[in-house]
Amino acid sequence: MSDNVLTADDLALINEPHLGFVATVMSDGSPQITPVWVDSDGENLRFNTARGRVKTNNLERDPKVAVLVMDENDGYRWIGIRGTVELTDEGADEQIDALAKKYMGVDTYPFRNPAEQRVTVTVHAEHRTTPPR
């Protein structure tokens, strides 16, 4: 698929303060789903997590992911994305602070645990689904 699977409308939805729901695959093949804060780098959906969590472990083992972002004020405005991920520690602390600003209106992520290593997960979309309009 092309490098620009996500449309401008998709990115606009992602950049609004709507939760994303990330589905990963457990080692036994069963699904696992987690709500996350999302943003974009202008081309790809991103979310933030910490090393050692279930979704991070799943994605390090199997980089396939599905993400659903839905406008909670309009259940017919959503995007489903399937793709593969890239994980990086670089800039992850700054990203979680930016997400805290977006979702909570605070400058610094208030639930920071000094023992955690934050990680940015970039989803390289290979397929997108949206509701018919």
Q: How many Å separate Cα 105 from the centre of its chain?
A: 19
Tokens 């997108």, residue located: 128
List the one residue out of 104, 107, 106, 90 whose CA is nearest residue 46: 90
pTM (two decimals): 0.94
In order of their start, the domains of the chain are 8-129 (2.30.110.10)
Mean pLDDT for each 10-residue chunk of the chain (133 residues)? 77 97 97 98 97 97 98 96 98 98 97 95 97 84
